[in-house]
Amino acid sequence: MDEDILYIEQFLGGDEKGFEMLVRKYQDRVLNIVHSLIGKDGESEDIAQEVFLKVYNNLRTFKGHSQFSTWLYRIVVNAVYGFTRGRGKMVNDEDAINNSATTYKGPRDNLIVKEREALLHKALENVPINFKTALIFKDIEGLSYIEISKILCCSIGTVESRIYRARQFLKGELLKAGGEAV
């Protein structure tokens, strides 16, 4: 049986450890998606926390018709869209460079990498959110078009179009920013 289903059943049976296992398993994935979409470390953590609180409060309504990750990513998308509706501007260079409890893997933990990534986040900021969301699920999470279409509740053709347009936008923004152009 799917590991996630076991954790869910454990939680629904009254053992909160099941929920904690789900959080441990998905926390970095959720955080990276949120961070790529809004570009703020501190607020990304808050949104990730909000996402898991929604999972905690609504796990009983999960029917298992889709994979747990699909259901979870839908909550992530809704939380991010809610956040962006509430905020006009999403990211600036300083926020993108600063971090809170987050740590960065590997030997690339240096200022140049952070600055380059700040530039990428700055460029991503100007990509419309629905295009960017499809792109992030593809390029950061490595999901297939069909999986993305289930998360975003749209057709595969729409996913393809959004990713294509996101790349066109992003290419233009990076060239405009004069940074590491493609």
Partner 1 sequence: MIECTKVKRMLSRYLDKEIGGEDSVMIEAHLANCTQCSKELSELTRLKGIVSGVTRITLPQDYLVSRIRDSIMRTRCEERVFSLSDIGNFARKLIPLPIGILVASIVFLVFISVQPASKNSLEDHIFSGSNATTEMALELILGSQN
Interface ranges with partner 1 (CB under 8 A): 20, 23-24, 27-28, 31-32, 35-36, 41, 44-45, 48-49, 52-53, 56, 99, 101-106, 108-109, 113, 117, 120, 135-136, 138-140, 142, 144-145, 160, 163-164, 167, 170-171, 174, 180, 182
- Structure token pair of residue 51: 């996402």
**Cα(37)–Cα(14) distance, integer angstroms:** 34
Closer of 50 and 84 to partner 1 (Cβ):
50
Q: Is 8 exposed, middle or buried (0-12, 13-18, 19+ CB in 10 A)?
A: buried
- Structure token pair of residue 6: 């076991």
Judge whether 34 and 76 are in contact, CB under 8 Å.
yes
Closer of 3 and 109 to partner 1 (Cβ):
109
**Cα(54)–Cα(166) distance, integer angstroms:** 29
Taking the complex as a whole, the smallest distance from the CB of residue 148 to partner 1 amounts, in Å, to 10
- For 106, the 3-state DSSP assignment is coil
Closer of 83 and 137 to partner 1 (Cβ):
137
Taking the complex as a whole, the smallest distance from the CB of residue 163 to partner 1 amounts, in Å, to 6
Closer of 81 and 140 to partner 1 (Cβ):
140
